[in-house]
Structure 1
Amino acid sequence: MRLRASQNKLKIEHSIIDGLRPVLERLLVHDDIRSIIPGVIKPVRDARGAVKIRVTVPTQNGWKAIALSAGARQELFVSTAIPQEELERRIAAALVE
Structure 2
Amino acid sequence: MTQGDKGRLVWNHSTHLDGLIPVLEKLINYTGINTITPGVIGRAKGHCPHLKLRVSVPIRGGYKAIARQGKTVQEVFIVTDLSQKELESAIKQVLS
The TM-score range, normalised by the shorter chain, is: 0.7 to 0.9
CA distance in 2, matches of 1:51, 1:64: 16
5+ residue gaps, structure 1: 1-6
SS in 1 for 2:35: strand
Match of 2:3 in 1: none
> Aligned partners of 1:84 and 1:90: how far apart in 2?
10
Contact preservation (8 Å) 1:19, 1:69: no
- Which consecutive aligned stretches of 4+ in structure 1 deviate over 2 angstroms post-superposition? none
Is the partner of 1:68 in helix, strand or coil? strand
Deviation at 1:61?
Answer: 1.0
Would the alpha carbon gap of residues 8 and 94 (structure 1) be closer, same or farther in structure 2, given more than 3 Å must change? Answer: closer
Tell me if the contact between 1:51 and 1:69 (Cα under 8 Å) persists in the aligned partners: yes
Between Structure 1 and Structure 2, which shows a larger proportion of strand residues?
2
Percent identical: 40
User: TM-score normalised to the size of structure 2?
Assistant: 0.86
Q: Secondary structure at the match of 1:69?
A: strand
Q: Provide the secondary structure at the position in 1 that maps to 2:49.
A: coil
- Give the number of aligned pairs: 90
Q: Which runs of 5+ in 2 are unaligned?
A: 1-5
TM-score (norm 1): 0.85
